[in-house]
Amino acid sequence: MSTIRFKALEEVFNRQPNYSVSPNERISSFFGENVFNDQAMRQYLPEQVYEKVREAILEGHQIDRSIADLVAAGMKDWAISKGATHYTHWFQPLTGTTAEKHDSFFEPIIGGEGRSIEKFSGSMLAQQEPDASSFPNGGIRNTFEARGYTAWDPSSPAFLIGKNLCIPTIFISYTGESLDYKMPLLKALHSIDKAATDVCQYFDKNITKVHATLGWEQEYFLVDSALFNARPDLMMTGRALFGHAPAKGQQLEDHYFGSIPERIYAYMREFETESLKLGIPVKTRHNEVAPNQFECAPIFEEANVANDHNQLLMDLMEKIARKHNFRVLFHEKPFSGINGSGKHNNWSLGTDTGKNLLSPGKTPKANMMFLTFFINTIKAIHDNADLLRAAIATASNDHRLGANEAPPAIISTFIGASLTKVLDELEKNVKSGKMSAEEKTELKLNIGRIPQIMLDNTDRNRTSPFAFTGNKFEFRAVGSSANCGNAMMVLNTIVSNQLKKFKKEVDAQLAKGADKDEAILQTLRKYIVESKKIRFEGNGYGDEWVKEAEKRGLSNLKDTPRALDVWERKEVAKLFEEEGVLTAREIEARHEIELDQYTLKIQIESRLVGDIALTRIVPAGVKYQNILLENLSKQQQVLGAAGKKTTEGLQTLVSDISNHINTIIIKVDEMIEERKKANNISDSKKRAIAYCEKVKPYFDEIRYHADKLEIIVDDELWSLPKFRELLFTK
Ligand code: ADP
Ligand code: MG
């Protein structure tokens, strides 16, 4: 067998699994122990400072510099008491990973004759200056004026990783533009808080704050690190660019909810324990549909903290996987022919009075409030479907959307039969103008009945990209490798904008002397009618839906460069400026960054496709062909004329191999030519489109022939670990 593959497999089979797992103590005894949380703040901050910080967190305002010094001192003492030596501003640049720059607390005392102190001031807590030019910035920063700041986000608690105190921060350019995922998300959350709280006043004056909630479900694959290292494509791109589907894939569905293999269980226990210490409330773990695919989900939290926790968890999962000789794949589609991975974003709105605004209540009044938020969300989805599509558009997620396993690239929403009935009835029964007392009573009675029908939990549809699931919406089209910040920023912004429009319409009617319930119901009825075409209850994976959606005039943007076009629309810039979330300049920069990220990803994949095809696959084909040719010629020598007939099978095999090899070489050449042309295009959008339309199609063509060779060529000569090895070794 090819030495590379043989050695990798040998290593896997000789593994001494690391089963030493985590503490057996109760979770509550270590949950959050590495977080500068409420309890730690109480202990390490003077009472007045503690109160000020709490207030700032709860009300979302800035902390004064004078207070910051005292917070920094307390934070430092806490961190040092736990063995920390360094601190870092932890942030989320638009590269899609997290970044940190470590600085030591240690400082020599000037003129102190070799003495030193541990120092951490308010200004060090509040601000740091990493080099903004080394992160994608869409031309906002030139390298020669590469100043960018990270600034403390007090609403997400500081935490300890090893000996390092990490402070969640936003990342902005010197001129104040956001260069990360967090800052626009915080702004969107602020905006929806205001908009939703205002709307709540129609129903409940006690509500003074609304926070968006997020509960993500993280899917991932695990591959043994020895096999991973023997696959340059997995190493460099996170997905297998070649590989024939295994004889047994996921058709038996024997993996889903099956028992978790011990080695994997040990890994899960360890990263879960570390997550829990960091206050990440992980709760569920299970196998997914595909072999070696798993999921981890926490209890939902306020969206900003939930997103930080997701980023943190992904970091931890990667680090801890290496300890267990695994590599974790967050790519949306690591193995073609096998289910990909997503990250469902469960989203809702919660009030400071403890109410979930997307949960039906027990009274007509409570349900009016529920329906208001429910219908406004649907209307926002309807009016801004293209923005939601853009929010989840990446080169890697393109492989998954619409691949008969994940929601298609068409945005629609599923609400279930019972709520469809409620909306239909509202549409039918709400009259414009004055309604009679009986009409109103009848309506309210119906509205009051919602909670009973909602108990019917069978009302589920797994094929919708945006499904209502009883007390929250589930945005399922988000990719597994994504930073949820993008999807959450867009979703909260559009719903916020919609709620403001709603309030304006209702207030206008109230000003004209309309009755409040009537004004609300009539406005909702109007939205039900206007947003009908975004609702779809059928099978989202079927071809019929693609046709039906086209008839309805819904977009179906299959690839990222096109999906991102929406960022060029004037009304989009207006919406985001109105909401105070992104300026036109920031939108332009982000659009360009996303296009460039797309291009870079496809470019790297294309280079690897070429490399692996020419240096691994073609040579294996040639070697095997030589063996066959030698055998053929010997047979024909010995057998003479009869040998011509009895070697027909071998002859066909030899010429098949020739065909595959020849096509691979020609296509790789053509692909390289297209790549050169694309590289010469200076416009980001045109370049991304060229990569999408001219370069990328070669991947499948080349792969087709390479995968055919894989099932012809002597297994001993094949150097890339095969799918059966990657997916079924545990
Ligand atoms: P599934 O979608 O697999 O059936 P569940 O419905 O139990 O699973 O919940 C999935 C996720 O939804 C969990 O991460 C949970 O924390 C989250 N979730 C539940 N309620 C809310 C809410 N009000 N806001 C946001 N997320 C929520
Ligand atoms: Mg789910």
| pLDDT single digits (tens) 379-400 | 999 999 999 999 999 999 999 8
Decide if pLDDT at 76 tops 50.
yes
Atom from ligand 1 closest to the CA of residue 298 = 14
Ligand 1 centre to CA of 299 (Å) is 7
Q: Is the pLDDT of residue 3 over 90?
A: no
Q: Is the dihedral of CA 543, 547, 553, 555 positive or negative?
A: positive
Q: How far is the CA of 701 from the centre of ligand 1 (A)?
A: 41
Lowest mean pLDDT among 198-212, 247-261, 355-369, 545-559: 247-261
Kindly give the number of the ligand 1 atom that is closest to the alpha carbon of 350.
23
Q: What are phi and psi of 536, to 5 degrees?
A: -145, 125
How many other C-beta atoms are found inside a 10 Å radius of the C-beta of residue 204? Answer: 13
Decide: helix, strand or coil at residue 413: strand
Nearest CA to ligand 1 atom 3: 217
Instruction: Point out which residues pair with 102 in neighbouring strands.
Output: 88
Which DSSP category does 259 fall into? P
The ligand that comes nearest to the alpha carbon of residue 354 is 1
What's the CA gap between 642 and 660, in Å, rounded? 28
Atom of ligand 1 nearest to the CA of 348: 24
- Of 300, 349, 466, 488, the one to substitute when testing ligand 1's pocket (max ligand atoms within 8 A of C-beta) is 300
The predicted structure's pLDDT at residue 601: 97
Judged by its nearest atom, the ligand closest to the C-alpha of residue 475 is 2
pLDDT-wise least confident of 143-157, 250-264, 369-383: 250-264
- Ligand 2 centroid vs 473 CA: distance in angstroms? 10
Please report, in angstroms and rounded to a whole number, the separation of the first and last CA atoms in the chain: 21
Ligand 1 atom having least distance to the Cα of 297: 14
Question: How buried is 643 (Cβ within 10 angstroms: 0-12 exposed, 13-18 middle, 19+ buried)?
Answer: middle
Alpha carbon distance 308, 431 (integer Å): 46
Atom of ligand 1 at shortest range from CA of 469: 6
Angle subtended at Cα 292 by Cα 286 and Cα 298, rounded to the nearest 5 degrees: 30
Q: Which atom of ligand 1 is nearest to the CA of 359?
A: 23
Any residues with Cβ below 6 Å from ligand 1, and which?
213-215, 217, 297-300, 346-348, 356, 469, 471-472, 474
Tokens of 340: 């990909």
Q: What is the pLDDT of residues 483-501, one digit of tens each?
A: 999 999 999 999 999 999 9
Handedness of CA 354, 355, 356, 360 (dihedral sign): positive
> What is the identity of the amino acid at 323?
K
> How many angstroms separate the alpha carbon of residue 217 from the centre of ligand 2?
7
Name the residue among 93, 303, 114, 43 with its Cα closest to residue 190. Answer: 303
Long-range contact pairs involving 675-679 (C-beta distance under 8 Å, separation at least 24): 675/603, 675/606, 678/599, 679/603
Closest C-alpha among 217, 202, 204, 153 to residue 180: 153
Tell me how far the alpha carbon of residue 462 lies from the centroid of ligand 2, in angstroms.
8
d(CA 107, CA 89): 18
Among the bound ligands, name the one nearest to the CA of residue 344.
2
Q: Which one of the ligands is nearest to 342 CA?
A: 2
Q: How far is the CA of 252 from the centre of ligand 1 (A)?
A: 28
pLDDT at 332 over 80: yes
CA neighbours closer than 13 Å in the CB half-sphere of residue 700: 8
Question: Which ligand sits nearest to residue 478's alpha carbon?
Answer: 2
pLDDT tens sequence across 231-242: 999 999 999 999
Token pair recorded at residue 534:
């975004």
Separation of 344 CA from ligand 2 center, angstroms? 6
* C-alpha 511 – ligand 2 centre gap (Å): 43
Higher pLDDT, 604 or 9: 604
Instruction: Please state, in angstroms and rounded to a whole number, the distance separating the CA atoms of residues 679 and 482.
Output: 26
More confident residue, 687 or 56: 687
- Token pair, residue 439, equals 């009409």
Would the pLDDT of 21 be above 70? no
Q: What is the DSSP letter of 46?
A: -
Measuring CA to CA, how many Å separate 398 from each of 391, 446, 462? 12, 43, 19
> Does residue 678 register a pLDDT over 80?
yes
The residue whose two tokens read 């991102």 is 564
Contact 426, 528 (CB under 8 A): yes
If one residue of 218, 302, 346 were mutated to test the ligand 1 pocket, choosing by the most ligand atoms within 8 A of its CB, it would be: 346
**Closest C-alpha residue for ligand 1 atom 23:** 348
Q: ∠ at Cα 481 (185, 193), nearest 5°? A: 20
Ligand 1 pocket test: pick from 472, 475, 484, 492 the residue with the most ligand atoms within 8 Å of its Cβ: 472
Query: b/e string for 234-245 if b means 16 or more Cβ within 10 A?
Result: beebbbbbbbbe
Give the pLDDT mean for 160-183: 91
Model confidence at 144, pLDDT cuts 50, 70, 90, reads: very low
Give me ligand 1 centre to Cα 300, in Å.
Answer: 7
Nearest to 272 by CA among 71, 23, 559: 23
Residue 367 Cα to ligand 1 middle (Å): 21
Mean pLDDT for the stretch of residues 100-128: 81
Residue-wise pLDDT tens digits, 544-585: 999 999 999 999 998 999 999 999 999 999 999 999 999 999
Residue 16, pLDDT > 80, answer: no
Sign of the CA dihedral running 289, 295, 298, 302: negative
562 C-beta neighbours (distance < 10 Å), count: 19
Q: Identify whether the C-beta of residue 32 lies closer than 8 Å to the C-beta of residue 154.
A: no
Q: What is the 224 CA–ligand 2 centroid distance (Å)?
A: 27
Is the pLDDT at 457 greater than 60? The verdict is no
At 378, list the tokens: 């649907």
Per-residue pLDDT averaged across 5-29, rounded? Answer: 78
Phi, psi of 226 (to 5 degrees): -65, -40
- 427-448 pLDDT, tens digit each: 998 888 788 888 888 888 888 8
- Among 106-120, 630-644, 659-673, the minimum mean pLDDT is found in 106-120
How far is it, in rounded angstroms, from Cα 598 to Cα 680? 16
Residue 44 near residue 74 (C-beta atoms within 8 A): yes
Q: Which atom of ligand 1 is nearest to the CA of 460?
A: 4
Mean pLDDT across 712-728: 94
What pLDDT sits at residue 444? 84
Ligand 1 closest atom vs CA 300: 16
The average pLDDT across 660-678 equals 98
Spatial distance between the Cα atoms of 329 and 313, rounded to a whole number of angstroms: 13
| DSSP structural state of residue 210 | E
**Residues 345 and 353 sit within 8 Å (Cβ to Cβ):** no
The answer to whether 242 and 706 have CB atoms below 8 angstroms apart is yes
Query: Measured between alpha carbons, how far is residue 689 from residues 31, 557, 641, 692, 697 in Å?
Result: 47, 13, 56, 5, 12
Q: Which ligand has the minimum distance to the alpha carbon of residue 351?
A: 1
535: which strand partners?
413
Question: What is the value of pTM for the model shown?
Answer: 0.94
Alpha helices, DSSP H, located in 455-532? 484-511, 516-530
Residue nearest to atom 4 of ligand 1 (CA): 469
* Ligand 2 centroid from CA 171, angstroms: 31
pLDDT bracket for residue 143 (50, 70, 90) = very low
The ligand with the least distance to the CA atom of 302 is: 1
With 0-12 / 13-18 / 19 or more C-beta atoms within 10 angstroms meaning exposed / middle / buried, residue 634 is exposed
Structure tokens at 308: 């930080």
How far does the centroid of ligand 2 lie from the alpha carbon of residue 486, in Å?
A: 19
Alpha-carbon distances, residue 560 vs 145, 361, 497, 565 (angstroms): 31, 40, 25, 9
Comparing 113-117, 281-285, 586-590, 610-614, the range with the smallest average pLDDT is 113-117
| Ligand 1 atom 17: residue of nearest CA | 215
Name the 3-class secondary structure at 221. Answer: strand
Share of the chain above pLDDT 90, in %: 69
Predicted local confidence at residue 587, as pLDDT: 95
524 in Cβ contact with 378 (< 8 Å): no
Residue nearest to atom 22 of ligand 1 (CA): 348
Q: How far is the CA of 282 from the centre of ligand 1 (A)?
A: 12
SS3 for 576-591 is: HHHCCCCCHHHHHHHH
The pLDDT confidence band at residue 97, using thresholds 50, 70 and 90, is: confident
Cα 31–chain centre separation: 25
* 218/238 Cα distance (integer angstroms): 16
Domains of the chain: residue spans and CATH: 31-179 (3.10.20.70), 189-582 (3.30.590.10), 597-728 (1.20.120.1560)
Judged by its nearest atom, the ligand closest to the C-alpha of residue 472 is: 1
Q: Kindly report which listed range (26-40, 134-148, 276-290) carries the lowest average pLDDT score.
A: 134-148
Instruction: Using pLDDT thresholds of 50, 70 and 90, give the confidence band for residue 145.
Output: very low
How far apart, in Å, are the Cα atoms of 177 and each of 137, 279, 373, 481, 589?
9, 30, 31, 25, 9
Helix H or strand E encompassing 59: helix 47-59
